[in-house]
Amino acid sequence: MTAEFTTVAQVADIKPGELRCVRFGTRRVALANVDGEIFAIDDTCTHEEASLSEGELFGDVVECPLHGAAFNVRTGAVESFPATRAVRTYAVRIVDGAVQLSEQSASGAA
């Protein structure tokens, strides 16, 4: 099956070490630039209602601005409490400087 990809941003808009919230269909997705590589996770923390793109990026780990839970932006895995559920990841590809996402999880799982 071929995944469909949608352009959501330009790579140039997200500098290394930065986060940015974008719309992807009805979802809010946080894009993270880790040393020039772009990763995409759900923007909403799995603990409560907080926007992860308003948090801080430390390497490939984003820290939630509300209570400090941390998630790995490559895998969505929880790195620190109080969150206990992973955030969803999205497959990312770069085409001519455009960041494109697909519904497919970055890990290949649905």
Task: Catalog residues that contact ligand FES under the rule CB under 6 A.
Answer: 45, 47-48, 50, 64, 66-69, 82-83
Contact criterion met (CB below 8 Å) for 31 and 37: no
**Minimum CB distance to ligand FES smaller for 47 or for 88:** 47
Shortest spacing between CB 11 and ligand FES, in angstroms: 27
State how far the Cα of 71 lies from the Cα of 74, in Å rounded to an integer: 9
Closest CA to 90 of 51, 36, 38, 40: 40
**Minimum CB distance to ligand FES smaller for 69 or for 99:** 69
Instruction: For the chain, state the CA radius of gyration.
Output: 13
**Minimum CB distance to ligand FES smaller for 30 or for 99:** 30
Shortest spacing between CB 70 and ligand FES, in angstroms: 9
Which two tokens mark 2? 């071929």
**Minimum CB distance to ligand FES smaller for 41 or for 99:** 41
Contact criterion met (CB below 8 Å) for 40 and 29: yes
Shortest spacing between CB 65 and ligand FES, in angstroms: 8
